[in-house]
């Protein structure tokens, strides 16, 4: 995880396995059941986000649940309600150019953190679809970022 507290080793292993599967077989990894890491609610759609490490400049992969309100690609930097932002989000703040893979679809993208009315609207959508985000927000004093991944044109 890098920043602040770490996730339990068993959770880190399951996430690493999912990323590995996404790199080998993106169609099989597109839908994942986060129940294996203690997140209830059943299978969710995931994308593979590739950022550049802000310290190393090396590609970093993370598999994230995503949402498609209004045809956008939206991800949430919840980190399970931990006090600091996830490393992938910090990487995007430093270098918002990234790549996404959604099953067999691959594209360059530019990340932007939503604010104001757009954030409120998207937060309502994503937290309705994934109620765990509300619990995570209640555990932390930071506002959990809602990030739009705008596809390159």
Cα–Cα dist 103/117, whole Å = 30
Mean pLDDT is highest, among 14-28, 34-48, 108-122, for: 108-122
Q: How confident is the model at residue 35 (pLDDT cuts 50, 70, 90)?
A: confident
What tokens appear for 63 in the block? 């598999």
pLDDT at 2 over 50: no
| Mutual angle of helices 116-129 and 132-139, in 10-degree steps | 120
- Judged against a pLDDT cut of 50, whether residue 3 lies above it is answered with no
Do residues 34 and 41 lie in contact, with contact meaning Cβ atoms separated by under 8 Å? Answer: yes
User: What is the pLDDT confidence band of residue 81, given thresholds at 50, 70 and 90?
Assistant: confident
Q: What is the pLDDT of residues 85-135, one digit of tens each?
A: 999 999 999 999 999 999 999 999 999 999 999 999 999 999 999 999 999
**Which architecture, in CATH terms, is 9-151?**
Roll (2.30)
**pTM over the 0.75 mark:** yes
Give the domain ranges of the chain. 9-151
Give the separation between CA 132 and CA 78, rounded to whole angstroms: 9
Mean pLDDT of the chain: 92
Q: How many CB atoms lie within 10 A of CB 66?
A: 21
User: How many other C-beta atoms are found inside a 10 Å radius of the C-beta of residue 19?
Assistant: 18
pLDDT, residue 4, reads 54
């Amino acid at each position: 995880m890098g920043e602040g507290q770490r996730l339990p080793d068993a959770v880190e292993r399951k996430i690493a396995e999912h990323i590995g599967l996404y790199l080998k077989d993106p169609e099989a990894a597109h839908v994942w059941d986060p129940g294996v890491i203690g997140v209830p609610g059943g299978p969710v759609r995931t994308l593979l986000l590739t950022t550049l490490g802000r310290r190393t400049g090396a590609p970093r992969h993370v598999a994230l649940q995503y949402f498609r309100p209004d045809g956008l690609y939206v991800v949430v930097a919840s980190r399970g309600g931990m006090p600091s932002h996830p490393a992938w989000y910090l990487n995007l703040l430093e270098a918002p150019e990234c790549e996404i893979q959604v099953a067999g679809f691959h594209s360059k993208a530019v990340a932007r953190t939503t604010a104001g009315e757009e954030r409120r609207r998207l937060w309502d959508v994503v937290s309705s679809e994934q109620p765990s985000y509300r619990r995570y927000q209640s555990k932390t004093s930071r506002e959990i970022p809602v990030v739009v991944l705008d596809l390159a044109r």
